[in-house]
């Protein structure tokens, strides 16, 4: 068990490190499934931070962001634009900003794909795969090879429009089918609350919109001060290898305030290794002494033990064979606390 | 109960400093409306400048910014906001004259067709609306008394005096056409008012901060809908366009259960287009907001001394940009009570 666990640990930590740092284009299309309870913003910022360290060119396609995030090289506002226009602008923005430092790697972020899917004017639903793959495929065969990683955020709680045809898949199924890595985001404090409920065999609590309470959009509240360690986001990752084999793992990303922007070592850890999720097992106390505990005093004092040893049991007396009828009599020495009863006692 | 301060102290940090180019979503339900909170936003932005006349030198030194407010209301008319603000001590008509405030009426003539209006004779509103319309707006040197918008649009009765439309303190929105073109026209109208407000004081070096409050734009979505080519995405883009002109934007939206939860995947029935679009617009706006203020009823039922619950949460866009000290606020849930005189007390549970 123990070597198995450590193997999984090293292996899966290497994998998430590779995915977040965009090494070897391990995942061309990553899908981030977030919700109001745990927005993808911290993870997107972590992507940008790592891209900056390894000098990756970052493009942000903004469907709902007004101001460019820190560290973004090219910012393309997708407001009121058709998919083909966006593709064209992204290409132009890359040409304009990447000319000086032609980086062999690119990261393209889409802050939210939902507005495109809900759009009335352009039939984006049917063009979804074309739209996404047009970023990944080089514009011309002669162009220098650029490794592109696409990270798309999808808000799970925003309802999807009804499908045009009853036989076509929903846009979320389409995205999940296309993605090479899917990361679902959870809030760590919610995961802890759900685990605590499961451990006691209770129904896991739900938060925010899932409460279905009138007027509640967001359930998240800051934890009281002093419990900083419950900050952080839980990543439920599903990675599909080229071979088709899937890898499932749960990780935790600590809040950005806990490490410096230049931090190079891996900050993500396995959820199972987090002390709050799986508290270290306490060494068994008092394993040597097997004594039942009770409110009664079951042990004997020294005097009681001595007196018990002094009692001669009847069958020893019977074996002495003082004569017929003598053996088997119960011989009892009266103590000072005993009363003599004429009817019962005979000497 | 003693008279409440216009701005309850618990509420002050949330309504007074909004970060730059931020979106704040204020969601309310039928039983817990958000008008009082909108008025508190108005008060926080406008009162410091109006006080500086009376208490001169007290407020001027502590870095009070030059603030202007544009209020676009799709559900309530000018008269409502003017009288409600008066109870707080804000004279909106005077602030309009001073070019610190502008009201845009998205209710009265939103679907008013100018071509039919000229054909119908001028006609006053019958019944209850009539006495209210003759109230003149103070200090407005106009030959015709400005008409105040009536509270409920009635088909057939929507004609007003064409002359009065221009001179009142109120800019009225008209929706014509379909889809994004219609929304673009509305955006242009609102942007013009914002620009006028910004440009009204050329003497000052610092450009005023304009706070835009859009009151219940979900009416626009509900009244047009997918048939007219307006959906959640188009509305979201429209709000984004408005945001580009302003310092901060506040959006009030309805979040009643049927409008939000009927469209969720777990709902038993397929959702109607309105339910889908409204939920997508409201939830999508919450994703784009830095701060979400949610008003709802007390879970334990009605109480005599509590009107509802206010929960302030960090929206989906919180933490996107480093906003410095303005971004440091705590999520919180408090109770509030709106008194008969319009005063509001805000307190924690059990206080």
Smallest Cα–Cα separation from A32: which of A235, A241, A208, A266?
A235
* CB A251 within 8 Å of CB A234: yes
pLDDT, tens digit, 9 for 90 and up, residues A135-154: 888 766 666 778 889 999 99
For chain B, give me the number of helices (H) and strands (E)? 12, 10
Q: Is there a contact between B197 and B68 (Cβ–Cβ < 8 Å)?
A: yes
Under the phi-then-psi rule, with left for phi > 0, alpha for psi from -120 to 50, and beta for the rest, what region is B301? left
Q: Is residue B263 part of a domain?
A: yes
Quote the minimal CA–CA distance from A38 to chain B in Å: 8
CA distance A194 to chain B (A): 20
* Chain A partners within 8 Å of B240 (Cβ): 64, 66, 79
Count: domains in chain A: 1
Question: B69 with B100: CB under 8 angstroms?
Answer: yes
A208: left (phi over 0), alpha (psi -120 to 50) or beta: left
CATH of the domain at B298: 3.40.50.300
Distance of CA B265 to the CA centre of its chain: 31
Is B327 an interface residue toward A (CB < 8 Å)? no
- Residue A269 to residue A247: CA distance in whole angstroms: 16
Distance from C-alpha of A132 to C-alpha of A146, rounded to nearest angstrom: 16
Confidence (pTM) = 0.80
Question: Looking at the predicted structure, is the pLDDT value of residue A228 above 70?
Answer: no
How large is the average pLDDT for residues B139-156? 44
* A39/B255 Cβ within 8 A: no
User: In the prediction, which pLDDT does A7 show?
Assistant: 85
Question: Cα–Cα distances in Å, from B275 out to A22, A161, B259?
Answer: 39, 10, 5
**How many beta carbons lie within 10 A of that of residue A66, not counting itself?**
19
* Closest partner CB to A221 (pick from B230, B256, B333): B333
Is the per-residue pLDDT at B118 higher than 50? no
Is residue B327 a part of any domain in this protein?
A: yes
In a domain, B116, yes or no: no
Q: How many domains does chain B have?
A: 1
State whether B229 and A157 contact (CB < 8 Å): no
State whether residue B170 sits within 8 Å of chain A by CB: no
Mean pLDDT of all residues in B341-345: 89
Q: Indicate the residue of B179, B276, B295 with minimum beta-carbon distance to A121.
A: B179
SS3 B288: helix
Q: Which residues of A touch B (CB under 8 A)?
A: 34, 36, 39, 41-42, 45, 64-67, 69-70, 79-80, 112, 114-116, 118-121, 155, 157-159, 161-162, 209, 212-222
**Which chain B residues have a beta carbon less than 8 Å from that of A112?**
284, 287
Provide CB contacts within 8 A for B214, sequence distance 6+: B72, B74, B239, B242, B249, B250, B251, B252
Least CB–CB distance from B243: residue in A66, A209, A214:
A66
**pLDDT for res B114:** 64
Q: What is the DSSP string of A241-283?
A: -TTS-EEEEEEEE--GGGS-TT--S---EEGGG-TTTSPPPPP
State the nearest Cα–Cα gap between B188 and chain A, in angstroms: 15
User: Does the residue A284 lie in any domain?
Assistant: no
* Residue A318 included in any domain: no
pLDDT in tens, A175-187: 999 999 999 999 9
With a cut of 60, say whether residue B151 has pLDDT above it: no
Choose between B69 and B325: higher pLDDT: B69
User: Which carries the bigger pLDDT value, residue B82 or residue B162?
Assistant: B82
pLDDT per residue over B302-335, tens digit each? 888 999 999 999 888 888 876 565 557 888 899 9
Within a domain: residue B266? Answer: yes
In order, the DSSP letters of B98-112 are: TTSEEEEESSTTTT-
Question: Kind of pairing, strands A29-34 and B22-28?
Answer: unpaired
Residues B27, B33, B34, B37, CA torsion sign: negative
Sheet holding B291-296, edge to edge: B170-172, B101-105, B67-73, B209-215, B248-254, B22-28, B291-296, B308-314, B332-338, B344-347
Residue B94 belongs to domain spanning? 7-48+64-110+167-346
> What per-residue confidence (pLDDT) applies to B250?
96
First to last CA, chain A: 71
Residue B280 to chain A, least CA–CA distance (Å): 5
Reduced to 3 states (helix: H, G, I; strand: E, B; else coil), residue B266 is coil
Residue A342 resides in a domain: no
B288 contact A CB<8A: yes
B315 touches chain A (CB under 8 A): yes
Residues with Cβ within 8 Å of A151's Cβ and at least 6 positions away in sequence, in order, are A30, A32, A44, A47, A107, A108, A109, A110
Sign, CA torsion A332/A335/A337/A342:
positive
B157: contact with A, CB 8 A cutoff = no
Run of H or E residues at A74: strand A74-77
Q: Is residue A130 part of a domain?
A: yes
B209 part of a folded domain: yes
C-alpha to C-alpha distance for B14 and B22, rounded to whole angstroms: 13
Q: What is the mean pLDDT of chain A?
A: 83
Q: Is B294 on the interface with A (CB under 8 A)?
A: yes
Report yes or no on A323 lying in a domain. Answer: no
Coil, helix or strand at residue B183: helix
By Cβ distance, the residue of A39, A159, A214 closest to B316 is A39
In a domain, A278, yes or no: no
Query: Is residue A312 in a domain?
Result: no
Q: Chain B contacts of A158, Cβ < 8 Å?
A: 232, 279-280, 283-284, 287
Cα A121–Cα A127–Cα A130 angle in degrees, nearest 5 = 140
Which residues touch B204 (CB under 8 Å, ≥6 apart)?
A: B66
C-alpha distances (whole Å) from A26 to each of A30, A179, A261, B56, B60 are 10, 12, 23, 65, 58
**If you count residue pairs, one on A and one on B, with CB atoms under 8 Å apart, how many are there?**
160
- Segment holding A182, helix H or strand E: strand A181-187
Q: Provide the domain limits for residue A116.
A: 1-160+167-271
Closest residue by Cα to residue A128 from A70, A63, A65, A83: A83
Question: Rounded to a whole number, what is the distance in Å from the CA of A197 to chain B's nearest CA?
Answer: 22
Q: Which pLDDT tens digit goes with each residue over A302-342? A: 888 888 888 877 677 666 666 555 556 666 677 777 777 77
Of B264 and B305, the structure prediction assigns the larger pLDDT to: B305
**Could you tell me if B67 and B47 are in contact, meaning their C-beta atoms sit under 8 angstroms apart?**
no
- Please choose, from the candidates B52, B77, B80, the residue with its C-alpha nearest in 3D space to the C-alpha of residue B64: B52
Side-chain-side CA neighbours of residue A237 (13 Å): 29
- Contacts of residue A65 in chain B, CB cutoff 8 Å? 288, 317, 320
Q: Please check whether residue B81 is in contact with residue B74, taking contact to mean a CB–CB distance below 8 angstroms.
A: no
Domain for residue B126, yes or no? Answer: no
Residue B2 belongs to some domain of the structure: no
Q: What distance in Å separates residue B238's CA from the closest CA in chain A?
A: 9
Nearest CA in chain A to B243: A66
* pLDDT for the residue numbered A256: 83
B74-117 confidence digits (pLDDT tens): 999 899 999 999 998 899 999 998 888 999 999 888 888 765 54
Interface of B with A in 125-154 (CB under 8 A): none
Residue B122 counted as domain residue? no
Interface contact flag, B264 A119, Cβ < 8 Å: no
Average pLDDT over residues B239-262: 93
CATH at A212: 3.40.50.300
């Amino acid at each position: 068990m123990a070597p198995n666990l450590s193997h999984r640990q090293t292996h899966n930590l290497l994998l998430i490190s590779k995915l977040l740092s965009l090494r070897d284009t391990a995942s061309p299309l990553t899908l981030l499934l977030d919700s109001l309870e745990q927005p993808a913003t911290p993870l997107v910022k972590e992507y940008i931070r790592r891209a900056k360290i390894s000098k990756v060119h970052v493009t942000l396609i903004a469907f709902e962001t007004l101001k460019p995030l820190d560290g973004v090289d090219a910012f393309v506002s997708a407001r009121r634009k058709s998919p083909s226009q966006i593709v064209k602008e992204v290409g132009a923005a890359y040409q304009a900003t990447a000319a000086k430092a032609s980086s062999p790697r690119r990261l393209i972020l889409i802050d939210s794909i939902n507005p495109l899917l809900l759009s009335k004017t352009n039939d984006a639903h049917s063009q979804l795969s074309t739209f996404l793959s047009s970023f990944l495929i080089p514009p011309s065969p002669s162009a220098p090879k650029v490794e592109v990683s696409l990270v798309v955020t999808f808000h799970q709680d925003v309802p999807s429009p009804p499908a045009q045809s009853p036989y076509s898949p929903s846009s979320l199924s389409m995205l999940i089918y296309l993605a090479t890595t899917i990361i679902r985001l959870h809030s760590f404090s919610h995961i802890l609350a759900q685990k605590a409920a499961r451990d006691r065999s209770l129904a896991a609590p739900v938060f925010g919109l899932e409460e279905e309470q009138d007027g509640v959009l967001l359930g998240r509240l800051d934890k009281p001060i002093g419990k900083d360690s419950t900050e952080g986001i839980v990543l439920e990752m599903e990675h599909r290898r080229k071979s088709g084999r899937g890898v499932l793992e749960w990780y935790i990303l600590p809040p950005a305030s806990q490490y410096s922007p230049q931090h190079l070592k891996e900050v993500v850890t396995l959820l199972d290794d987090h002390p709050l999720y799986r508290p270290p097992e306490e060494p068994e106390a008092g394993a040597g002494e097997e004594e039942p505990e009770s409110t009664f005093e079951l042990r004997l004092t020294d005097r009681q033990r001595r007196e018990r040893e002094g009692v001669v049991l009847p069958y020893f007396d019977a074996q002495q064979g003082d004569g017929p009828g003598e053996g088997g009599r119960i011989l009892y020495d009266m103590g000072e606390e005993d009363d003599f009863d004429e009817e019962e006692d005979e000497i | 109960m003693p008279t409440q301060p216009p701005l309850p102290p618990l509420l002050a940090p949330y309504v007074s400093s909004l970060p730059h180019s931020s979106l704040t979503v204020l969601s309310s339900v039928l039983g817990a409306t958000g008008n009082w909170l909108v008025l508190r936003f108005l008060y926080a932005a406008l009162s410091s400048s109006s006080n500086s006349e009376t208490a001169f030198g007290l407020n001027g030194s502590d870095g009070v910014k030059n603030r202007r407010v544009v209020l676009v209301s799709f559900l309530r008319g000018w008269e409502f906001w003017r009288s409600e603000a008066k109870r707080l001590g804000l004279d909106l008509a005077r602030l309009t004259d001073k070019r610190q405030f502008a009201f845009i009426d998205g209710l009265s003539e939103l679907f008013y067709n100018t071509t039919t209006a000229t054909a119908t004779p001028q006609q006053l509103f019958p019944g209850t609306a009539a006495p209210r319309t003759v109230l003149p707006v103070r200090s407005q040197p106009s030959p015709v008394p400005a008409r105040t918008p009536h509270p409920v649009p009635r088909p057939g009765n929507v004609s007003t005096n064409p002359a009065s439309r221009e001179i009142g303190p109120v800019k009225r929105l008209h929706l014509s056409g379909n889809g994004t073109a219609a929304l673009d026209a509305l955006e242009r109208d609102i942007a013009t008012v914002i620009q006028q407000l910004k440009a009204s004081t050329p003497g000052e070096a610092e450009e005023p901060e304009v706070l835009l409050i859009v009151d219940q734009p979900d009416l626009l979505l509900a009244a047009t809908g997918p048939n007219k080519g307006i959906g959640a995405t188009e509305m979201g883009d429209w709000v984004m366009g408005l945001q580009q002109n302003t310092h901060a934007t506040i959006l009030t939206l309805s979040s009643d259960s049927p409008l939000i939860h009927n469209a969720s995947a777990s709902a038993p029935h397929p959702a109607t287009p309105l339910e889908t679009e409204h939920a997508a617009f409201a939830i999508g706006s919450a994703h784009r907001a830095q701060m979400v203020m949610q008003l709802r009823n007390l879970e334990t039922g009605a109480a005599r001394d509590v009107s509802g619950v206010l929960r302030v949460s960090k929206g989906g866009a919180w933490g996107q940009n480093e906003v410095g000290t303005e971004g440091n606020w705590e999520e919180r849930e408090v109770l509030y009570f709106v008194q008969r005189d319009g005063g509001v007390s805000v307190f924690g549970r059990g206080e």
